[in-house]
């Protein structure tokens, strides 16, 4: 049987940071579980964030109007992408689990990690119009965000000054990871480690270590299934009328992004739903 593989995409400038410590815990625990763990240390690699013409070897199909997505898709099909992108493609292909480890910057990822997503999740390689969301290219793989904040947890509550963390995470978890088909595990959030005593940071890492030991048994987050939508340009990729009618009877929207004018489903982007439970919480 082939050895399991995991990829950690690491985006922090310092090897003495809490993020580096969280990375090291993941490497150790996953290795002990039998994974072959690869780390892409983006700052150490001097990974280029900008998506440019330099990502393509050889001639462009349309040099008069450079369209990055179309040109890189063609270059991927013909084996003409730059070596740094190709190397990351191989890592993604091999990995059944990908962990993104980073500090939250401006409610998102650091620029170098955004550049990794822009360049490595190439059209064709990571998605196509026919292969998105739960029918996506990477539907057999798992991915998760593991990150630190400078803010406290209370600041990211629905009534906190930063707003609901579920809303913050929706673009990354749905619009990037789930869009490419990944089964998205609940994020690992380290709340304000820079402002915590050393003992608390130690407890945070111990909690992360314990979670990693059972990570393979976790259920992914839930997202709106493609079958609920009319997946055609004529239908506008909109929710089917029967699906909307059914949802009218529910107390919450489908997801954080598909709220349909209803309250957001509780913790939709930070916790997996209980096993086989309906919206009232009773067992089916």
CATH of the domain at 43: 3.40.50.360
User: Residue range 109-130: average pLDDT?
Assistant: 97
CA distances from 224 to 133, 185, 254, 259, 263 (A): 9, 15, 6, 11, 16
| Beta strands 188-190 and 97-103, pairing class | unpaired
pLDDT at site 279: 37
Q: How far apart are CA 71 and CA 97, in angstroms?
A: 28
Please tell me whether residues 69 and 96 are part of one structural domain: yes
pLDDT band at 275 (very low <50, low <70, confident <90, very high): low
Report which of 180, 195, 277, 136 is spatially closest to residue 266, judged by C-alpha positions.
Answer: 277
Three-class secondary structure of residue 268 per DSSP: coil
Instruction: Quote the number of domains for the chain.
Output: 2
> Where is pLDDT greater, at 77 or 276?
77
Taking phi first (over 0 means left), then psi (-120 to 50 degrees means alpha), and beta for anything else, what does residue 45 get? alpha
Paired tokens of 133: 């969301």
Please tell me whether residues 128 and 263 are part of one structural domain: no
Please tell me whether residues 189 and 255 are part of one structural domain: no
Helix or strand (DSSP H, E) at 225: none
Contact 146, 100 (CB under 8 A): yes
pLDDT in tens, 180-209: 999 999 999 999 999 999 999 999 999 999
**C-alpha count within 13 angstroms, C-beta hemisphere, residue 125:** 28
Output phi, psi for 50, to 5 deg. Answer: -75, 130
pLDDT at site 84: 98
Report which of 147, 188, 168, 128 is spatially closest to residue 257, judged by C-alpha positions.
Answer: 168
Please tell me whether residues 107 and 191 are part of one structural domain: yes
> Where is pLDDT greater, at 107 or 279?
107
pLDDT at site 12: 98
Least confident of 138-152, 179-193, 221-235, 263-277: 263-277
pLDDT at site 235: 87
State the average pLDDT for the chain: 94
- 205-214: list long-range contacts, CB under 8 Å, 24+ apart: 205/21, 205/22, 205/25, 208/22, 208/25, 208/26, 208/146, 209/25, 209/29, 212/25, 212/26, 212/29, 212/30, 212/33, 213/29, 213/33
Please report whether residue 284 resides in a domain: no
User: Residue range 24-35: average pLDDT?
Assistant: 98
pLDDT band at 274 (very low <50, low <70, confident <90, very high): confident
In the predicted model, is pLDDT for residue 39 greater than 50? yes
Please tell me whether residues 166 and 77 are part of one structural domain: yes
> Where is pLDDT greater, at 196 or 275?
196
User: Residue range 90-119: average pLDDT?
Assistant: 98
Please tell me whether residues 158 and 255 are part of one structural domain: no
Output phi, psi for 9, to 5 deg. Answer: -95, 110
Three-class secondary structure of residue 212 per DSSP: helix
Please tell me whether residues 50 and 184 are part of one structural domain: yes
Residue ending a domain, choose from 217, 233, 250: 217
pTM: 0.94
Please tell me whether residues 180 and 232 are part of one structural domain: no
Q: How far apart are CA 27 and CA 7, in angstroms?
A: 9
In the predicted model, is pLDDT for residue 284 greater than 60? no
User: Residue range 240-255: average pLDDT?
Assistant: 92
In the predicted model, is pLDDT for residue 1 greater than 90? no
Please tell me whether residues 97 and 226 are part of one structural domain: no
pLDDT band at 282 (very low <50, low <70, confident <90, very high): very low
pLDDT at site 278: 39
Which domain, by its residues, includes 31? 5-217
Paired tokens of 119: 């360049």
**C-alpha count within 13 angstroms, C-beta hemisphere, residue 238:** 8
Paired tokens of 187: 């994020």
User: Residue range 110-114: average pLDDT?
Assistant: 98
Please tell me whether residues 210 and 234 are part of one structural domain: no
């Amino acid at each position: 049987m082939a050895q399991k593989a995991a990829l950690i995409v690491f985006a922090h400038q310092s090897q003495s940071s809490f993020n580096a410590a969280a990375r090291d815990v993941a490497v150790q625990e996953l290795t002990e579980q039998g994974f072959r763990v690869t780390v892409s240390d983006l700052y150490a690699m001097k990974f280029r964030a900008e998506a440019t013409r330099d990502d393509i070897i050889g001639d462009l199909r349309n040099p008069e109007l450079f369209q990055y997505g179309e040109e890189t898709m063609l270059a991927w099909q013909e084996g003409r992408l730059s070596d740094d992108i190709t190397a990351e493609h191989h890592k993604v292909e091999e990995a059944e689990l990908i962990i993104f480890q980073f500090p939250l910057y401006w409610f998102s990822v650091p620029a170098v990690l955004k550049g990794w997503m822009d360049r490595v999740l190439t059209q064709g390689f990571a998605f196509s119009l026919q292969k998105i969301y739960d029918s996506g290219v990477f539907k057999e793989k798992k991915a998760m965000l593991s990150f630190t904040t400078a803010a406290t947890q209370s600041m990211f509550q629905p009534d906190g000054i930063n707003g609901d963390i579920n809303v913050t995470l929706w673009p990354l978890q749905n619009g990037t990871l789930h869009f490419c088909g990944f089964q998205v595990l609940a994020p690992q959030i380290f709340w304000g480690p820079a402002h915590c005593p050393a003992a608390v940071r130690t407890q945070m890492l111990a909690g992360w270590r314990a979670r990693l030991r059972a990570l393979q048994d976790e259920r992914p987050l839930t997202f709106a299934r493609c079958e609920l939508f009319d997946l055609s340009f004529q239908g506008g990729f909109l929710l089917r009328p029967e699906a909307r009618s059914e949802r009218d009877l529910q107390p919450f929207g489908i997801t954080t992004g598909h709220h349909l004018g209803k309250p957001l489903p509780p913790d939709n982007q930070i916790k997996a739903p209980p096993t086989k439970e309906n919206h009232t919480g009773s067992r089916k």
